[in-house]
């Protein structure tokens, strides 16, 4: 068997042919496009996860002891988290085709990617992107995004309440929740909040605690996030307070 003659014969007969340059250019562009798309997708998913944490209050309650941590773990959007992790792994596989990636230990390029998408998600979190998107899809029948954003509120456990303080009582305060309920919040020695905090009327807060009917024994109280949409359930909510 003469390798050289065999191959040259195959080349001359057209049995083997070289792929054109545009084939490789297109392949490189597709790879780059896939990487950019996945990066943007992961950034969006992570920003949405952080948005869920803020809007459902689940992200804040992890600070309130074992009970808060278990609520956080149970109510976290695991499907989205697993999807984001999977996409980062796929991203790593794609990026690994570039020499700047495989010349470094895998740990560095993986950490680099994680930092990149976390920073991107943080940057998105500083904008009104998710609140605006939520406002946009709220009353529209938009596939995927509609159910996603409407589902945030359903994710909130009963032990977490957002609302406005309408009255200060001896043992706590009365809260008008964003769902239109009037709740009696009891502050005890175990309630975690800002040290020496004096609650004031009209203050918007998140309350985490044990709910029994209209009463909540608070385990934690903290200011509500500034971008929390108090009008999403009751368009008249809060207006009565201004009168």
- Residues in contact with other proteins by the rule CB under 8 A: 1, 3-4, 6-8, 10-12, 16-21, 23-24, 93, 96, 99, 102-108
The CB-of-120 to other proteins minimum distance in angstroms stands at 24
Buried b (16+ CB within 10 A) or exposed e, 103-116: eeeeeebbeebbee
Of 7 and 63, the one with the shorter C-beta distance to other proteins is 7
The CB-of-100 to other proteins minimum distance in angstroms stands at 11
Q: How far apart are the C-alpha atoms of 58 and 198, rounded to whole Å?
A: 24
Q: In sequence order, what are the residues at sequence separation of 6 or more whose Cβ sits closer than 8 angstroms to the Cβ of residue 16? A: 7, 10
Strand partners for 216 = 185, 211
- Does residue 135 contact residue 229 with C-beta atoms inside 8 Å? yes
Of 10 and 239, the one with the shorter C-beta distance to other proteins is 10
Six-digit token pair at 169?
């009582």
Q: How far apart are the C-alpha atoms of 237 and 214, rounded to whole Å?
A: 18
- Does residue 220 contact residue 64 with C-beta atoms inside 8 Å? yes
Of 19 and 243, the one with the shorter C-beta distance to other proteins is 19
- Counted residue by residue, the chain has a size of 243
Of 4 and 235, the one with the shorter C-beta distance to other proteins is 4
The CB-of-78 to other proteins minimum distance in angstroms stands at 25
Of 3 and 170, the one with the shorter C-beta distance to other proteins is 3
The CB-of-13 to other proteins minimum distance in angstroms stands at 12
Residue 75 φ/ψ, nearest 5 degrees? -100, 5
Q: Is 221 strand, coil or helix?
A: strand
The CB-of-84 to other proteins minimum distance in angstroms stands at 20
Residue (of 215, 151, 221) closest to 192 by Cα position = 221
The CB-of-114 to other proteins minimum distance in angstroms stands at 14
């Amino acid at each position: 068997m003469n390798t050289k003659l065999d191959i040259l014969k195959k080349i001359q007969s057209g049995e083997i042919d070289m792929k054109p340059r545009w084939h490789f250019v297109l392949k490189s562009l597709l790879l780059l496009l896939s990487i950019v798309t996945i990066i943007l997708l992961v950034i969006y998913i992570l920003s949405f996860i952080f948005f869920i944490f803020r809007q459902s209050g689940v992200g804040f309650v992890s600070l309130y002891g074992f009970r808060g941590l278990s609520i956080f773990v149970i109510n976290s959007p695991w499907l989205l988290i697993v999807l984001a992790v999977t996409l980062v792994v796929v991203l790593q596989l794609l990026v690994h085709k570039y020499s700047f990636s495989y010349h470094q230990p895998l740990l560095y390029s993986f950490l680099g990617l994680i930092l990149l998408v976390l920073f991107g998600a943080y940057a998105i979190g500083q904008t009104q992107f998710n609140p605006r998107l939520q406002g946009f899809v709220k009353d529209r029948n938009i596939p995927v995004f509609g159910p996603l954003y409407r589902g945030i509120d359903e994710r909130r456990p009963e032990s977490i309440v957002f609302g406005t303080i309408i009255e200060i009582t001896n043992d706590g305060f009365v809260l008008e929740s964003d769902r239109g309920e009037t709740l009696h919040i009891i502050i005890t020695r175990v309630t975690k909040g800002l040290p020496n905090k004096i609650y004031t009327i009209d203050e918007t807060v998140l309350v985490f605690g044990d709910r029994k009917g209209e009463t909540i024994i608070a385990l934690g109280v903290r200011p509500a996030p500034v971008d929390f949409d108090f009008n999403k359930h009751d368009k008249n909510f809060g207006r009565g307070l201004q009168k």
